[in-house]
Homo-oligomer: A and B are copies of this chain.
Amino acid sequence: MQGRATISDVAAAAGVSVATVSKAVNGRYGVGSETAARVLRIASELGYASSLGASSMRSSRTGVVGVFIAAFEPFSSEVLKGIGVALGDSGNDVLAYSSLTGNEHDGWERRSLSRLGGTLDGAILVAPTVVDLPGTIPLVAIDPHTGPAGLATVDSDGYGGARLAMERLIGLGHRRIGFVSGRHDLRSALLREAGYRSALEEAGIPFDADLVRAGNYELKLSREAANQLLDLPVRPTAIFAANDLSALAVVQVAQSRGLAVPRDLSVVGFDDVPEAARADPPLTTVRQPMQQLGNEAVAMLTALMGQQELRRPHVTLATRLVERHTTAAPAPRRG
């Protein structure tokens, strides 16, 4: 049982050639059923399973689909859950890969695809920002950069979602609403920002560039953005953030400055990651169906892997506002 058995170990133990073992293990024709049975038994006894790396070098199908993510953060994790259940019965294994390493200009998605592409039957990219990907295997992107029309994509309605958030805030009576923006290399982030502006415009509230600050979906930057916004001579009464991470950062900063949320400042996020519900106070946010994003991506990928044409190569899912406890009417004017 020491050190993984190889195909030759099995062959030797069974007294046959490696070719025969390979055929038996893969259920190919051309092996006596008796021989096959014996080989299988021995393989099982030895705990043999073919090396993914080696076998993928010779044959095309491997039965594993890859998911490439930048990191195991809440958003990707939810997507992964959706992918996992959707793939549950397909007989495919799931391999999620996060490459923190060498994040230079290459882009992790390129590098990862290069390293693993040959090994996979298909892949899903979560929030890729790189445009031209090697076109070896079926690919679908979730929440992508504005990429080539050729790439199948799934995302959710960031524009509409942002409007939902803003309309609520405006309906509550807010007129001075800050915005912490997201990663500008992601279409979804841009759309959320567009929704912010359009809602303002529709309500007849003039756009004020001072009220939008870069958060880039990063904790540090979002905190800075929040501080800048709250340092403004005339403080915003509400802040809409491009994702929950940023929104949570805003809440935290506000609280650390002695401001009560939502009494002194309303905050709305975007995503509805699990962390949003457990925050204190629980975050009002725009929910995007993250697990369903995964489901849809799997459906498309499955079609692609089955050589099918996609009816709809771009799917957009609806978002909705989840009101929790970080929104309220603005406090009566205090100067």
Contacts and interface: CB of A to CB of B under 8 A. Distances in A.
Contact of A114 (B47, B95, B99, B106): B47
Contacts of A135: 2-3
A35 interface: no
A52 B87 CA distance: 24
B114 A4 contact: yes
Contacts of A3: 134-136
Interface in A24-78: 44, 47-54, 56-57, 63, 71-74, 77
- Determine which residue in A5, A132, A134 has the highest number of CB atoms from chain B within 10 A of its CB, and name it: A134
B81 A80 contact: no
Interface residues of A, number: 59
B100 A97 contact: no
Contacts of A47: 106, 110, 114, 134
B63 A106 contact: no
Contacts of A84: 71-73, 98
13 contacts: A3-B135, A4-B118, A50-B115, A51-B57, A52-B53, A54-B57, A63-B101, A72-B81, A84-B98, A91-B101, A93-B99, A93-B112, A96-B97
